Amino acid sequence: MDPIRIGGHLGMDVSRSPGGVITKTALHDIDNGQMTGNAGLDLYDHNAVALANAVRILDMLRGARYAPEVIDSGDGWVIEEDMGVTEPVKDAEAFRRNCVTTLAAIRAAGIRHGDLNGPNIIIRDDEPKLVDWTEAHLLDEVAPQKSPYSDSNLLWRTVAGTIGPDGNYDTPRIARRWLAVLGALGAVTDLTLPLRGKTFLDLGCFQGDFVAAAAAEGMDAVGLDMGGFRSGENSISIGKDLWAGFPFGTAQLHQGNIMDLRRRFRYDVVMMFSTWPYLESRQAAFDLLGNILADCGTFFFETQLSGDGPGPAFLETDSDVEAMLTRYGQVTHLTRIPVTGRPASRSVWKVVAR
């Protein structure tokens, strides 16, 4: 059976051959100015360099489950392992978590992919397989690629736009909320891992999904939770198993009471999402907000409104939430996200102490 062309672009041919291999070949095509900005340029050298760069990066990642193995290569061509075709997501939560772990593994290897858009992420058994490493580079190298966005931004956008088996996007809104946080912290277009080494605390962390997301940015991330949100299970124990051996940053989960007002909140970033209304004492809950903003650098907050589960009656609208938070610092509304099966959307807020 002859090879079947499956992709490529001007000056590059990509084909699939029997036996599980992908062949990429640089071609002598003339740029019209769109590929490189140089109209009339023969694209062979441009694409041959890109293929050689991909081989260099993939050699560093040899043995990684998320990247293809290089079978053979030469001047202007490479033969890679075929990672297959994308399958429907069976478990959207597992896919999201596998994406976070994969992102962390790439960064632990000191590498940036540079083009983590949908076509370059092949989903197999709810795991991301990443292809097209032509724009990849080491984290301490100058980025050569066209995309101005971080791997985090591109990958989380893919996760947010992936439909789960229930027909819904991004349940329970982990990706969309985290994208809002990344944008507010400057990690969407800064390609240097600007959050690496900073500290992060998630109050009411459940199973630690945001803690792992923060660790994937290189943060020293901690989560605190009582552990009993769902009857009969301990979310902290589950989370510790889920994120054991996380390959980048640090991800620690602790079981405890967030209302322990002796606890200090000296972290660069503190998060409290959909947790505050569960606190039994209104005054103690207000005091907690004050203590957090007195200590931390940046606070991210989300709450249920009245009529949405435990949402308090005095928080009927986003304006009420904004007025409450304004007592403690400078408030910025980041995004409003509909909640599947709930009567109202929830907003993500950024608060910085004055």
What is the CATH classification number for the domain harbouring 196?
3.40.50.150
At 98 the three-state DSSP class reads helix
Q: Measuring CA to CA, which residue among 203, 208, 216, 190 is closest to residue 300? A: 203
* Strands of the sheet with 77-81, listed across from one edge: 4-9, 12-17, 21-26, 77-81, 70-74
- Are the beta carbons of 91 and 129 closer than 8 angstroms? no
Q: What is the pLDDT of residue 26?
A: 94
152 and 177, same structural domain? no
* Residue 128 within any structural domain of the chain: yes
Residue 33: pLDDT over 70: no
Question: 218: number of CA atoms within 13 Å, CB side?
Answer: 17
- Give pLDDT tens digits for 299-310: 999 999 999 989
202 and 75, same structural domain? no
Residue 261: pLDDT over 60: no
Residue 7: pLDDT over 70: yes
- Are the beta carbons of 61 and 109 closer than 8 angstroms? yes
Give residue 140's domain range: 92-160
Mean pLDDT confidence for 74-80: 97
In the chain, how long is the greatest CA-to-CA distance? 73
Mean pLDDT confidence for 51-79: 97
Q: Examine the fold and report which residue of 160, 195, 215 is the final residue of a domain before the chain moves on.
A: 160
Residue 71: pLDDT over 80: yes
Choice between 173 and 4, residue whose per-residue pLDDT is larger: 173
Q: What is the mean pLDDT of the chain?
A: 92
Domains: count for the chain: 3
* Residue 87 within any structural domain of the chain: no
- Give pLDDT tens digits for 163-218: 888 888 887 899 999 999 999 999 999 998 999 999 999 999 999 999 999 999 99
Residue 35: pLDDT over 70: no
Q: Measuring CA to CA, which residue among 116, 144, 141, 145 is closest to residue 131? A: 116
Please give the single-letter amino acid code of residue 39.
A
73 and 55, same structural domain? yes
* Residue 86 within any structural domain of the chain: no
> Which value, to the nearest 10 degrees, does the dihedral of the CA atoms of residues 207, 209, 211, 216 take?
140
102 and 15, same structural domain? no
Residue 116: pLDDT over 90: yes
Mean pLDDT confidence for 72-89: 96
Which positions ≥6 away from 79 have C-beta within 8 Å? Answer: 21, 22, 23, 24, 70, 71, 72, 73
